[in-house]
Amino acid sequence: MEIVILDSTERIASAAADAVEQVLRTHETPVLGLATGSSPLPVYREIVRRHTEDGLSLAHARAFLLDEYVGLPHGHPESYREVIRRELTGLVDIPAASVQGPDGGADDVAAAGRRYDEAIHAAGGVDLQLLGIGSDGHIAFNEPGSSLASRTRLKTLTEQTRQDNARFFDHVDDVPYHVLTQGLGTIMEARHLVLVATGEGKAEAVAAMVEGPVSQVCPASVTQMHPHVSVLLDEAAASRLRLADYYRHTYAHKPAWQGL
């Protein structure tokens, strides 16, 4: 796990976009994993900028979303398929048919979860998975208590997560109680995890993820067991890390040729 502490959201977005661009330029059929929420948005804006201004192409890529609400009607503006279309995929040249998300409207949600894992496997697996982290340590919608080996499945959101997401809806009562989410076991099969966290509100969760025990209490801590994880933080999100000075030292002396 590499911890990168940077002094601005712009630098974080640029570093994450560099990793995405590297995959796009070096893989014949790159597979990206896309997260929603506020943390990845600056990364998506930078990717869109590189597409618009520098000609970066995603036409040869496939993308899989981390999760989707259960029960929102097709086309709802806060469904994650619509959010991703609005913030990224509708602004670049990736074909709409190459972007897939869990089917939160399926009659058989359990079967939809199994089909989704099978689709990721059939695509060759995810090359780079973008992630955020919740204030309670969840990644995707794997809330505290989630199995560290879990697969794509139905999850019930905690009240904290519903309150956190209420800003995207007219009222907290409009936030669904259930989601179809990639499991921790599914996420851990991606070849490179790039997790972005900013703000003091994420500091406790980041510290538990990076320096705490691997535990269901902090689902994101399972990433300690992954061979290639890049954690991109601003100073506020890194403020609870005991080894922050060491992380800064190692990144400052990283070989110039070595990317994330």
Find, among 147, 155, 151, the residue nearest to 219 by Cα: 147
- Please, are residues 78 and 41 in contact by the beta-carbon 8 Å criterion? no
- Please, are residues 119 and 100 in contact by the beta-carbon 8 Å criterion? yes
- Please, are residues 31 and 22 in contact by the beta-carbon 8 Å criterion? no
How far apart, in whole angstroms, are the C-alpha atoms of residue 163 and residue 171? 9
User: Cα dist. 149→52, 60, 89 in Å?
Assistant: 39, 31, 30
How far apart, in whole angstroms, are the C-alpha atoms of residue 215 and residue 208? 9
- Please, are residues 155 and 161 in contact by the beta-carbon 8 Å criterion? no
As annotated, the active-site residues are: 67, 136, 138, 143
Find, among 150, 154, 127, the residue nearest to 27 by Cα: 127
